[in-house]
Amino acid sequence: MDYDKNNIFAKILRGEIPCKKIYENDYVLSFYDVNPLKKTHLLIIPKGEYIDLDDFHDKASEKEIIEFNKAITHVVKKLKISNQQDGYRVLSNIGKNGGQEVPHLHYHIFGGEKIGKIVF
């Protein structure tokens, strides 16, 4: 599968669709989900063109991988949902059977309330 340059996250990265930004650096963008499933529901996406986690690990630089993972910790601390507070859940749907709807790697982060065993 080729990367779709017209997916919603690509459009957000290009500034064609607005988002409520939480954090951004040269490698990562984090913003609130427009249809939150929990009290706190945000997304973290790499700025590179990666379809899913497999594609990311195959093609991304070490710096991109490190920055993407560090962004999770940065954001949850900023929003006061880190493990030092009450905790959070990180979820990535990968591929058709994993329920991936947007073909751009993204992590959902849920917090601010008890999540339970399953989010949806």
Q: Is residue 116 part of a domain?
A: no
92 lies in a domain? yes
**Would you say residue 2 lies in a domain?**
no
Query: Residue 82 — pLDDT band, cuts 50, 70, 90?
Result: confident
Range of the domain at 71: 8-111
- What's the CATH number where 56 sits? 3.30.428.10
- Would 74 be classed as within a structural domain? yes
Q: State the Cα–Cα distance between residues 33 and 91, nearest whole angstrom.
A: 13
Q: Establish if 118 belongs to a structural domain.
A: no
Q: Tell whether 119 is covered by a domain.
A: no
Residue 43, token pair as written in the block: 């997304």
Per residue in 13-72, pLDDT (tens digit) is: 999 999 999 999 999 999 999 999 999 999 999 999 999 999 999 999 999 999 999 999
What is the reported pLDDT for 119?
Answer: 55
Does residue 25 belong to any structural domain of this protein? yes
Total of domains in the chain: 1
Confidence label for 120 from pLDDT (cuts 50, 70 and 90):
low
Residues with a catalytic annotation lie at 106
What pTM was computed for the model?
0.92
